[in-house]
Structure 1
């Protein structure tokens, strides 16, 4: 099983590098082969490496997030299917939000919430989202409502990742949180390139930050899963 995990991880790294190279060189036709394999190999790596949480809602939710991400990757290969790709990633973020919520200690415990303190903790995330929206707003046209909805959901994803602080082990928190921030950055670059001002490096930056984000999130969830295994013992 361990050899299979390493093999799938190498496949993920290889197809990720190839896809970034194809993107950098403008070889869009080859990306029909490389891009769909990125998330499929990461999902395979997650499934074979997360035996500690086999059968749990967390494992199913993460699998759903990855499969929606895979659908989004495939749909975004076709420019005329952008809205459907956006919808697939919206569903992926909703699955991640649920996953981040349950991948912590006492996830649904009701306690005192300091909303002012919470606002200031999340302020850098709100600032990034607001800045991107300020720039892209004039160019959104009839895409304004879908983009606003998507922006709200991805901000929620990043803030729920941040709110895991102190509610899981440090490795799990930081990997998931940094992954969530890089996901936000990746989508921000994509939005700026599409609706504000296009630039040649956008494709590489989008894919590089996106791949890093997905990998960190999965590693972070697996780190929480290892703690779950120890707790069961």
Structure 2
């Protein structure tokens, strides 16, 4: 489904303001608080306005994943003075988001066939977790481990599905899954290991690119690209 340049510009502006507000902090943090969940809602709007009947199971699962992502956005940015368990609840919200994305990615492709993407990403995830483990509070270790496994499963299935369908749109979902994995890995290193330079740009930039590509992968069940992407690639 075509998306106007204006709508895409509003998404880009919201993402830029979310990154700017997080980077500047202080009196500018309100930009982050407003623009971060707004950007997620705008990306969800890309999926909401798609009504092709043959894509409804995929669409519903994507919308649920984006809704939980929006909830995770809100919970993670709340200060501890407002919500003491904000990080834990945000982690749970994103875990549910990945389960929804995983459901979408298994609607038209077999789970973990072939198996190597899952094994490869599990190996990489385990190596990263081993580095991060000493910096993770004992109470957080079980939920962080569960989240890592769920995230890896989603990203691996996105790759598996892209290999199975071999369509441009399924490739968008695979890139989106890998970007989500990269974003959360960067976030984990920034939180549990050591501060990263330009962390807001790296983490939020890859996060919103992941959400956008997952949202634009909606027509992949039939192998069709969104018409605006098709027209842009032919010019």
TM-score range, shorter chain: 0.7 to 0.9
1:195 aligns with 2:195: no
C-alpha separation between the residues in 1 aligned to 2:22 and 2:53? 36
Deviations 1:36-71 (A, max 9, x none): 1011111112222x2224782221111111110000
Q: Secondary structure at the match of 2:196?
A: coil
C-alpha separation between the residues in 1 aligned to 2:77 and 2:208? 16
Shift of 1:96: 0.1
Which residue of 1 is the match for residue 105 of structure 2? 100
Which residue of 1 is the match for residue 211 of structure 2? 214
Deviations 1:71-117 (A, max 9, x none): 00011111431111111101100000000110x2xx469xxx88xx6
User: Which structure 1 residue ranges, 5 or more long, are not aligned?
Assistant: none
Distance 1:16-1:136 versus aligned 2 partners, 3 A rule: same
Q: Provide the alpha-carbon RMSD of the alignment.
A: 2.5
Regions of 4+ moved over 4 Å: none
C-alpha separation between the residues in 2 aligned to 1:187 and 1:9? 24
Listed as ranges, the matches of 1:66-215 within 5 Å are 66-80=66-80, 81-102=86-107, 104=108, 107=109, 118-119=115-116, 121-141=117-137, 142-215=139-212
TM-score by length of 1: 0.84
Q: Secondary structure at the match of 1:167?
A: helix
Equivalences, count: 218
TM-score by length of 2: 0.83
- 15-24 vs 33-42, which deviates more? 15-24
Listed as ranges, the matches of 1:16-35 within 5 Å are 16-26=15-25, 27-35=28-36
